[in-house]
Amino acid sequence: MTIQSMINRNIKYLRPYNPGLFNGKYKLDANENSFDLPENIKIKIFKEAKKIEFNRYPDPYAEKLRSLISIKLNINKNNILVGNGSDELIYYLLLSFINKKDKVVVPYPTFEIYKILSEICGASVIEVPLKSGFDLDVEKMVDILKSNKIKFVFLAYPNNPTGNCFSKSAIKRILMEKDTFVVIDEAYFEFSGKTFLNELKKHKNLIILRTFSKAFSLAALRTGYMIASESIINIIKRVKLPYNINSFSQIAALNILKYENQIRKTCEIIIKERQKMKEKLEGLYYIPESDANFLFIKISKPDLLKKEFIKKGICVRFFSDVRLKNYVRITIGKSKENKLVTDILKKGF
């Protein structure tokens, strides 16, 4: 027996996930909020956290947090499930519903975790390239959905890494395919203001994901949630690890929602900065309209640009996939960071 011969076939050719990060002074590579939580909110979180009985397991269903989300979104609490980041909820979804040889459709390019987790769970993944301008090729997608049994379609809205929201009519068309679950990942919702939440009652196959990792500055504490029909949520509970969200994260997320207005101010700053940066680079590069906290920029000299960013200690996201060789994704940072980036890009790469 060798370890290699024992390996799960689904992960035989998989490599550990590489977020493509490199070390530097300015972190603009992971689409986090570049502003940390305000000090007054951190203090409130720590004060409450002091009361945690560290010897006790956390609330397995984050009841308080789900209640507050439910009030804020005007959605029944039973339609909400909290996870250790939305990543975990994607995993649970696939674990709950994928059988061997099931198929999953994703656009290309998109958030690569959909493909990785689908394959880990034994599904085969069909990638449908986005059209020029990065909108969905809805005709092709619908063709595939009609001629194959497809269990899931994953759509990031706005899309990562391209930054744009796909057209609403294209997504609505896909939602009409009732035998396929359509996951709309609204990780960057607070920057786009666009949502499919109001379609939830109409479409039983719709599943929405949100996260505290982006606009809400809570990437370190891994908290996300899913909104879906109660029957979907109840099935996922079968695979959910018993205590998936720790007590500290539950307290932090609750406080974020309590002080949402204050935190959301950073989104306004980031959106303004994004527009400013895009305008400054207009004409120099192709940059699709972004509804998120990052820009996706087409470049012709990626190696030279990478060297320049490394030299200045600026971390941005380049891609190992050759199809994205000529693109860089840059998270919008604080004003000073954005100026550093813009000054470099203005030299022409």
Q: Kindly list the residues in this chain that would bind ligand PMP in the complex (CB under 6 A).
A: 31, 85-87, 111, 156, 160, 185, 187, 211, 213, 219, 224
Smallest gap from residue 53 Cβ to ligand PMP (A): 27
Bridge partners (DSSP) of residue 106 are 127
Alpha helices in 148-296 (DSSP H): 168-175, 189-192, 230-236, 247-258, 260-281
Identity of the residue, 155 or 314, whose beta carbon is nearer to ligand PMP in the bound complex:
155
- Cβ(229)–Cβ(79) below 8 Å: yes
Identity of the residue, 111 or 309, whose beta carbon is nearer to ligand PMP in the bound complex:
111
Smallest gap from residue 111 Cβ to ligand PMP (A): 4
Smallest gap from residue 186 Cβ to ligand PMP (A): 8
Identity of the residue, 75 or 219, whose beta carbon is nearer to ligand PMP in the bound complex:
219
Query: What does the DSSP assignment read for 279-325?
Result: HHHBTTB-----SSSEEEEE-S-HHHHHHHHHHTTEE-B--SSGGGT
Identity of the residue, 156 or 314, whose beta carbon is nearer to ligand PMP in the bound complex:
156
- Cβ(150)–Cβ(103) below 8 Å: yes
Identity of the residue, 109 or 224, whose beta carbon is nearer to ligand PMP in the bound complex:
224
- Cβ(345)–Cβ(297) below 8 Å: yes
- Cβ(101)–Cβ(151) below 8 Å: no
Smallest gap from residue 84 Cβ to ligand PMP (A): 8
224-227 and 206-211 as β-strands: parallel, antiparallel, unpaired? antiparallel
Smallest gap from residue 215 Cβ to ligand PMP (A): 11
Instruction: Tell me phi and psi for residue 163, to 5 degrees.
Output: 90, -20
Q: Where are the beta strands (DSSP E) in 76-180?
A: 80-83, 103-108, 124-129, 150-156
DSSP 322: G
Smallest gap from residue 219 Cβ to ligand PMP (A): 6
Q: Which residue is nearest to ligand PMP (CB)?
A: 85
Identity of the residue, 17 or 46, whose beta carbon is nearer to ligand PMP in the bound complex:
17
Smallest gap from residue 244 Cβ to ligand PMP (A): 12
The first and second tokens of residue 245, run together, are 């969200």
Identity of the residue, 185 or 291, whose beta carbon is nearer to ligand PMP in the bound complex:
185
DSSP 178: T
- Cβ(296)–Cβ(156) below 8 Å: no
